[in-house]
Structure 1
């Protein structure tokens, strides 16, 4: 399979992977959970590789090759920088080794009848440097050719009882073991500088070989967009970092945020590359976007930057690749397509002005035209617009009859119910300030087990410290879109390991996890 050429000017989210360097023979550090994974006692931050400036190519819709110079408001960063951390392994935790161990058959050389003993320290130093470099390159996965697969070698959670009497973490249903995300004990002293009160939030997760990745996007008090990355190999979050935006691309204060994932084909058969597509509003309400890969962790501008899609300043945003949604000043809901065309969703006639928007999959295999779009109708009730793989509106399109506040922000996620078949479980979350004394007012509505009816809304003590108000966002597993040339659409996983949701508690960014049975507190996102 050949690498796709850069798309024409009319495409947003276009692939410019031909400008990147891929090494199919890259080595990956193999971490065996429970044996050689980093200890969760001292959670060290790590820095992903940094590209420092992006220039627009006037002849292309997509950004030109990364140009390394100063970004507006950033210090010059010509070299990759990694935070050095002291780490003392537990005796029961063997050290992490590369998948291809470094070995040498070299023997001390002799010259003039003397053993070359002085060369030994240099040899050891060189070997050590090589090993460290190999581990850093493997762990960060900076040179990116990845295969979308299920996570292997999952850790088994053991039920323990926390101070509040709740299991944390828990086992699965009927005592079955489940994949166990790390429980963080991280520094959050810099939260007041890293994230504004009641910030917009967006999250997406995806799998690459045996690793899991999550990207969070939020806004700081100066209206800069910020991003944090989670890697399962490091068992922690990166430090917050500004998205590398040009001064003219500034976001509206309090902008809504949304993100989803494209899987691009590469020149390696059956291997695909994840690219996250993030959208926000400019100060005048224009839809804007930046794209991210592990090799562009602080962003590159999306092709939508050259368009002028005007949303209401009160509009929410949603995305499920290849579609994005916004509301105009008349209250109409518009859908942006793969080629930067916009279309009015004429079957969504009763959306309330300022409605929240949330796009989720219909089945575990996301066919290109499938969509579930949740919103608030003019009667103040939660409503659903559903479209099948042929683009036809389904009978599920209706009001769900659940009242939600006018200022509510919708969050949600979906899981596949089985390894085969289309069935999914869906969860919706929002905050109702009138119920603030009941677990922070966070309401949970679910549709599981193949039922057509919805259960709830319910609440859970894991949300009891939620700020009022706060946005809520949940990780949606990056599915891409099928039936799109040069792209892939991995099946929605049956695993619960990325069922994470985020909200602010004491301004800090709290993360919680639904293990398939109940909610678990995972602590705070790193903000030193």
Structure 2
């Protein structure tokens, strides 16, 4: 099992993994199709690793040094670290060890890039076993405790575990205008939805891969304005139970805050090994842009370096993120772009953004250069517009109004992946809700660009969205790409795989997940909220 190296002391934002204490568990469950997959009346939620002790100084400025249990189980004290956006560079005498790499494309060569030469299968097996145990213990995978809750309510689960001879899941339905769904393999309890998520919550999602696994993380807000998170690991084929982000008392989020998230890949002190970190942004009650960072070793979050700034957004602002870029709108309607937290500039090439415009940042190409971005927004004519910038920082000829009206209160979502048979480039999907068309599949509109050209198709709709609440936010998973030209960081290319083409919205307040399998939309049921 290859995972990002969680032993390396990479520093970015608040790399304070030593400030949280995890109580290790000696067991976790893996669902094996045909062997131990639960019936629809059973369900196996997974508790994410939970920090049991987080200490802050008297002014609540930053976590104080704390004890943590390492893989051997003994306590160790660490020095306080500051919230800075910088990559860790190993000491000159640090040992250079080859390790597995994140998955950057679909080729076997890329998947084998970090493979080590081993003298024998026996040694290899021993090394792999030890590495897997250490990675599981430190990353927190081993503490995703499996709990069982029979009869707590079921629903359409996931077709991840039901695959055909070609290795693809087997969705069903789709006739006579019905949604395509997956067989109910795992029960999905949503009895705690009123406690876990507010109505019309802000939503954000991100996903990333290693050679053997894929992960996704969701963010949303509960009725008490707490920020919440759920994790998905492919080895478990399910979501963790909802958990509160471990925020300092002074870092409260605005009720109804927008949310945005993207992934940074950091170098470690292991050759060809990189660590994924998710940076989530939100607004404080006064509109200040705030942020928390997440890794497998601290899944409940630690404050980001943006906490040391005072970027003031309109309380009606949307947020978008495509590392190293984050976007917000101020009270005068200007769009600002923050680069790696410390650099901020007004986007003078976007002078016609409507006040309160939704914002969506997507990649331009399968490999992401730090200055490249596709920023979607609503212009003052009420139409969907695109600002596109190339790797040199110059606006491209794709920058224009797309001529498609969108409601003033619409929230944009979207995703991109690399094209396969249809040639080079990427496929791009943009979604929003038009409440005036709620009778047409929940009013969710889908705009696509999938043929390698500049033309957009749609907007269209699909029955998987028919039960969407009105209003609802929509968010989609984007693969964590990082930045390819940032020292100490890695740029990970989009893959041609469709397995993380997930979008989320609320239906009966519950958090519905749907999937575009490359050909059609598929209903995957609800995110676990027992």
**TM-score category of the 2 structures, normalised to the smaller one:** 0.7 to 0.9
Task: Give CA deviations for 1:9-36 in whole Å, capped at 9, x if unaligned.
Answer: xxx6365689999xxxxxx999797566
Please state if 1:374 is matched with 2:386. no
DSSP-derived class of the 2:173 partner: coil
1:459 corresponds in structure 2 to 461
Task: Find the aligned partners of 2:186 and 2:503 in 1 and give their Cα distance.
Answer: 14
Alignment of 1:123-202 (within 5 A): 137=137, 140-141=140-141, 155-158=167-170, 160-161=172-173, 166=178, 168=180, 184-202=186-204
Q: In the TM superposition, what whole-angstrom CA distance separates every residue of 1:96-116 from its partner, at most 9, and x where no partner exists? A: xxx9599xxxxxxxxxxxxxx
Match for residue 346 of structure 2 among 344, 356, 360: 344
1:229 paired with 2:231, answer yes
CA deviations 1:493-521 (Å, max 9, x no partner) are 10000000000000000000011111110
Task: Using the TM superposition, give the Cα deviation of residue 52 of structure 1 relative to its aligned residue in structure 2, in angstroms.
Answer: 3.7
Q: Matches of residues 473-488 of structure 1 in structure 2 within 5 Å?
A: 473-488=475-490
Q: Secondary structure at the match of 2:482?
A: coil
2:415 matched residue in structure 1: 413
How far the C-alpha of 1:433 sits from its partner, in A, is 0.5
The equivalent residue for 2:403 is 401
Which of residues 271, 274, 278 is equivalent to 2:273? 271
Q: Which residue of 2 aligns with 1:318?
A: 320
The Cα of 1:49 is off from its aligned counterpart by: 1.9
Distance 2:351 2:208 in 1: 34
Shift of the 427–165 alpha-carbon distance from structure 1 to 2, 3 Å rule, reads: closer
**Matched position secondary structure for 1:274:** strand
- CA distance in structure 2 between the aligned counterparts of 1:421 and 1:516, rounded to whole angstroms: 14
SS class of match (1:488) = coil
- Please report how far the alpha carbon of residue 489 of structure 1 lies from its aligned counterpart in structure 2 after TM superposition: 1.3
Counterpart of 2:508 in structure 1 is 506
Give the Å deviation of 1:340. Answer: 1.3
| Deviations 1:350-406 (CA, angstroms, capped at 9, x unpaired) | 000000000000000011111010000000000000111111111000000000000
Q: Could you tell me which of 249, 256, 260 is aligned with 1:258?
A: 260
Distance 1:425 1:212, change over 3 A: same
Deviation at 1:439, TM superposition (A): 0.5
Give the superposed CA RMSD: 3.7
Q: 2: distance between equivalents of 1:30 and 1:279?
A: 32
| Aligned equivalent of 1:434 | 436
**1:209 is the counterpart of 2:211:** yes
Structure 1: which 5+ runs fail to align?
22-27, 70-77, 79-98, 103-129, 144-150, 171-180
Q: Residue 315 of structure 1 contacts residue 355 of structure 1 at CA under 8 Å; is this kept in 2? A: yes
Give the number of the structure whose alpha-carbon radius of gyration is greater. Answer: 1
Residue by residue over 1:458-514, the C-alpha shift from the partner in whole angstroms, topping out at 9 and shown as x without a partner, is 011110000000000000111111111111111101000000000000000000001
Where 2:47 maps in the other structure, the secondary structure is coil
Unaligned runs of 5+ in 2: 22-26, 70-74, 76-123, 144-159
Q: Does the 8 Å CA contact 2:201/2:472 hold for their aligned counterparts?
A: yes
Query: Is the 8 Å Cα contact of residues 261 and 479 (structure 1) preserved in structure 2?
Result: yes
Cα distance in 2 between the residues matched to 1:396 and 1:412:
17
1:124-175 alpha-carbon deviations (Å, 9 max, x no partner)? xxxxxx9x989974995369xxxxxxx9x984223533787757458xxxxx
Change (3 A) 1:368 1:473: same
User: What residue is the counterpart of 1:82 in the other structure?
Assistant: none
CA-to-aligned-CA distance 1:297-337 (integer Å, 9 cap, x gap): 11100011111000001000000000110000010000111
Task: Quote the residue 2:156 is aligned against.
Answer: none
SS of 1:487's partner is coil
Equivalent in the alignment of 2:305: 303
Normalised to the residue count of structure 1, the TM-score between the two structures is 0.76
Cα separation, 1, equivalents of 2:19 and 2:68: 15
Deviations 1:193-247 (A, max 9, x none): 1100000000001112311111000000000000011111111111111000111
Instruction: State TM-score, norm by structure 2.
Output: 0.75
Aligned length: 441
Measured in 2, the distance between the counterparts of 1:254 and 1:57 equals 29
Q: For the Cα contact (< 8 Å) 1:352–1:378, is it kept in 2?
A: yes
Q: Residue 378 of structure 1: SS of its match in structure 2?
A: coil
CA–CA distance in structure 2, aligned partners of residues 218 and 426 of structure 1: 24
Helix, strand or coil at the partner of 2:275: strand
